[in-house]
Amino acid sequence: NTHSDWASSSRFHFGFWECLLMTIALLFVGTVAFSFVFEQWSIDKSLYFTVVTLTTCGYGDLSPTTVGGRLFTSVFAIFGISILAIVIGEFGSKIVEAEIGTMEKEKKAAESVTLGKSVKKTSNKNDVVSMIFSQEDVLRYILLFLFLFGIARFLFRDENWTFIETIYYIVITSTTIGYGDDYPISDHERLLAVVYILISVGVMGEFLGKISGYVIKQRQTSFLKSVKEHVFNFDDVKLMDADNSGDVSELEYLIFMLTCMGKVDNDLLNDIRSKFKKLDVDGSGALTKTDLMMMTRQRIVTE
């Protein structure tokens, strides 16, 4: 419990209800400001413009015309996008955490191979798609795509779009490019687009995150494989021998291997060493009761 109190990073994260509250607050402030303070738009139009602004889609079909509205939009966009980025990042981290279990198993398997242990093969699949996405992911993305496609067709049912044009709108919206050539026109279309934009942007963010995560994981796997196949020589021993004693201790070997595997970096190790030296008041190279007593005396004198 003591370790979790001071070392846990969960206290720096926002919870689900905090994220939901921040999102609602942003939508409320934007809607009220554009409807009743600056532009006198209808509520659904102000809500639509707020979402389009915060997600950086920026279709170009609506824009503030008053001086106050433009000034407010300038400030609101900077702070609003920053806050929404935090919210999206928190939800993204939850998605990543859901994948951590599987990734950790694969990573430990790769590390076991690096350390010379035998590992059972868990899959014979070699195609890229199966390595990036599980069967559940594929099914979920198909259903989400059909949902987004159906909503887009309904949203622009009067436009008589072709299949390609609908796909184009989905991609341009979900990636927040928003050229402005296709956008909702009527009030009910804009109201529906409020939900559609938030969902499509979230889905695309997760999808692109999985692809980038796969690329990073492949680079990591390739590196671990190179470490495994590397034949250690005298030059490596010299690198491991941090104290230049001519021998490599277990601690030096551990530090060298952990650094190679990317588990720790030199800056972190230096910070830890610096912390240890401060705690080792008597300079004996070990933390003892004497160190604790001397630190207590120093605090008393300082106070």
* Structure confidence at residue 130 as a pLDDT band (50, 70, 90): low
Task: Identify the band that residue 127 occupies on the pLDDT scale cut at 50, 70 and 90.
Answer: low
Find which of 43-52, 74-83, 134-143, 238-247 is predicted with most confidence, using mean pLDDT. 43-52
- Tell me the two tokens of residue 303: 């106070």
pLDDT value, residue 54: 86
Of 36-50, 218-232, 245-259, highest mean pLDDT: 36-50
Q: Do residues 252 and 241 touch, judged by C-beta distance below 8 A? A: yes
pLDDT of residue 170: 85
pLDDT at 2: 37
> Percent of the chain having pLDDT more than 70?
75
Residue 37 has what pLDDT?
Answer: 92
Residue 7 in this model has a pLDDT that exceeds 70: no
Determine the average pLDDT of the residues in 91-96.
60
Q: What is the mean pLDDT of residues 54-69?
A: 85
pTM here is 0.52
Q: Is the pLDDT of residue 101 over 70?
A: no
- Output 6 or 231, whichever has higher pLDDT: 231
Instruction: Please compute the mean of the pLDDT values over residues 286-294 and round it to a whole number.
Output: 83
Q: Which one, of 101, 210, 195, 115, lies nearest residue 155 by Cα?
A: 195
Contact (Cβ atoms closer than 8 angstroms) between residue 210 and residue 132: yes
Q: Per residue in 180-199, pLDDT tens?
A: 777 777 787 788 888 888 88
pLDDT band of residue 115 (cuts 50, 70, 90) is: low
228 versus 295: the higher-pLDDT residue is 295
